[in-house]
């Protein structure tokens, strides 16, 4: 197989999107408006953007970029470097880079989708991204990255087909985990009903009346004595929905146990209350051991009579109601209004009923561990194939 060494800019014309401001003056309900492609229009796990939630007036066109079906879109900040293929004509804001194939007849879209999203290029993006706090991609950075591509379209398509099959296995196992996570929520609702409507007439209390919030903190970065200890310190980037924060997790930071941070005990629910992550979800987790948390999170200590894991799931099944309590601060940061969070109802069945539910959780978690191992195995296989593919060994 013959590979061709080149740069991304040799294969694609690259432009950055533009944002007419204030954008609200350009948004329209007119069905004949132009599609306004936002990062939120990208469905998680999908390679395509097929529709948009908003449209803009024709007057916006002078201040933005128009993309065509078949163009690649690359996020250029925050979770930068994630590629998508647009299937709609539309306008893009300055959070996107658009890559248009110079020769579509010699560019297999599936091959370049996997290449642009590969660990190899992700590493290249990470090394070159500008900005000390918020890393950003720019046109020149992306244009100048070296790549190796098969010389023929047929070879590109062959490699893409192999990666498609491996990716299909990986996605199915991830989807199985997602469905499994939904299972416990369904069991909770079947046993106790929706806490908001309380169809079973169980005792309930607002969260604020049956728990206490505990705030976190961040030691000074200037004091090296606080950091790189053995005590886990959890921040929002360590949080995933339905996870247990464990000592074995790969946390972003650790601190020394003798720091002045409050220690959060095992089996304590955690919730993120501030940050960009609150745009689409409110991450929650429960601790498996003692930890410390940063200032963008709260720990929830439930009163006696409410098992912490039961309380955690009572909150989880109300995720949409909690997300509705997220507000935008004056400087644009998202924050969860904890006063309104305190209004969320907590169902309080008797202890026997709570323990019946927790017995289901225990059996489920054992089964889920095996599913997680299978999903990890599929992810490792896909990553290995991807590495071989883009180093010319597949």
Which letter, b or e, does each residue of 15-42 get, where b requires 16 or more Cβ atoms within 10 Å of its Cβ?
Answer: bbbbbbeebeebebeeeebbbbbbbebb
In-domain check, residue 99: yes
28 shares its domain with 106: yes
Cα separation, 394 vs 308, whole angstroms: 50
Is 82:96 a contact under the CB 8 Å cutoff? no
Among 114, 133, 151, give the residue marking a domain's end.
151
Residue-number span of the structural domain to which 29 is assigned: 3-151
Supply the pLDDT for residue 132: 44
Would you say residue 78 lies in a domain? yes
Cα-flanking dihedrals φ and ψ of residue 97, to 5°? Answer: -110, 140
Residues 54/27, Cβ–Cβ less than 8 Å: yes
Evaluate whether residue 289 is within a structural domain. Answer: yes
Please check whether residues 18 and 117 belong to one and the same domain.
yes
How far is 368 from 205, CA to CA, in rounded Å? 31
Please report the pLDDT score of residue 37 as a whole number.
95
Nearest to 264 by CA among 238, 229, 293: 293
Specify whether 240 is located in the same domain as 120. no
Report yes or no on 104 lying in a domain: yes
pTM: 0.64
- Last-in-domain residue among 109, 127, 151: 151
Query: Has residue 29 been placed in a domain?
Result: yes
**Does residue 134 sit in the same domain as residue 13?**
yes
What is the CATH number for 330? 3.90.220.20
Question: Does any domain span residue 176?
Answer: no
**Domain end among 116, 151, 186:** 151
The reply to whether 178 falls in a domain is: no
Residue pair 150/4 in contact by the 8 Å Cβ criterion: yes
Residue 342 lies in a domain: yes
**Please, what's the b/e burial string for 288-315 (b: 16 or more CB within 10 A of its CB; e: otherwise)?**
beebbbbebbbbbebeeebbbbbbbbbb
Are 225 and 293 in the same domain?
yes
Per-residue pLDDT of the chain (394 residues; tens, 9 = 90+): 688 899 999 999 999 999 898 888 999 999 889 999 998 888 777 889 999 999 999 999 999 999 999 999 998 765 566 899 999 999 999 889 999 999 999 999 999 999 999 988 888 887 877 554 445 678 888 999 999 999 899 999 999 999 999 998 988 888 887 777 788 899 999 999 999 999 999 999 999 999 999 998 887 776 766 777 778 888 888 886 566 776 555 566 666 665 567 889 999 999 999 886 677 789 999 998 888 898 999 999 999 999 999 999 999 999 999 999 999 876 777 899 999 999 999 999 999 999 999 999 988 888 877 888 888 888 888 888 888 888 777 7
Domains contained in the chain, number:
2
CA angle (391 as vertex; 386, 392 as ends), nearest 5: 105
Tell me, yes or no, whether 145 and 27 share the same domain.
yes
Q: Which residues contact 38 (CB under 8 A, 6 or more apart)?
A: 52, 53, 54, 93
CB 389 within 8 A of CB 162: yes
């Amino acid at each position: 197989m013959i590979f061709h060494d080149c740069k991304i800019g040799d294969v694609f014309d690259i432009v950055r999107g533009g944002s007419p401001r204030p954008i609200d003056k350009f948004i329209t309900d007119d069905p004949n408006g132009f599609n306004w492609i936002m990062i939120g229009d990208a469905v998680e796990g999908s390679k395509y953007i097929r529709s948009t939630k908003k449209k803009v007036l024709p007057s916006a066109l002078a201040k933005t970029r128009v993309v065509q079906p078949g163009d690649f879109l690359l996020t250029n900040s925050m979770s930068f470097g994630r590629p998508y293929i647009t299937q709609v004509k539309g306008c893009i804001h300055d959070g996107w880079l658009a890559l248009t194939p110079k020769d579509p007849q010699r560019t297999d879209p599936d091959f370049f989708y996997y290449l642009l999203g590969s660990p190899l290029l992700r590493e290249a993006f990470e090394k070159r991204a500008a900005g000390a706090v918020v890393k950003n991609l720019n046109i020149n950075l992306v244009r100048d990255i070296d790549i190796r591509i098969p010389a023929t379209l047929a070879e590109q398509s062959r490699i893409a087909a192999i990666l498609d099959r491996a990716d299909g296995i990986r996605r199915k196992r991830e989807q199985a985990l997602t469905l499994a996570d939904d299972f416990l929520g369904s069991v909770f609702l079947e046993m106790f009903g929706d806490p908001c409507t309380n169809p079973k007439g169980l005792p309930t209390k607002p969260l604020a009346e049956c728990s206490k919030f505990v705030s976190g903190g961040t030691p000074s970065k200037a004091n090296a004595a606080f950091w790189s200890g053995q005590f886990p310190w959890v921040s929002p980037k360590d949080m995933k929905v339905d996870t247990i924060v464990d000592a074995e997790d790969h946390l972003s930071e650790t601190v020394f146990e003798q720091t002045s941070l409050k220690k959060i005990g095992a089996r304590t629910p955690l919730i993120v209350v501030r940050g960009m992550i609150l745009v689409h979800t409110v991450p929650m987790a429960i601790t498996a051991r003692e930890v410390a948390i940063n200032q963008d999170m709260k720990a929830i200590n439930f009163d006696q009579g409410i098992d912490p894991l039961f309380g955690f799931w009572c909150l989880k099944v109300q995720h949409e109601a909690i997300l509705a309590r997220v507000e935008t601060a004056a400087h644009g940061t998202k924050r969860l209004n904890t006063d309104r969070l305190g209004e969320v109802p907590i169902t309080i069945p008797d202890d026997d009923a709570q323990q019946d539910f927790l017995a289901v959780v225990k059996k489920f978690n054992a089964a889920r561990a095996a599913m997680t191992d299978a999903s990890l195995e599929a992810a490792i296989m896909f990553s290995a194939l991807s590495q071989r593919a883009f180093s010319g060994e597949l």
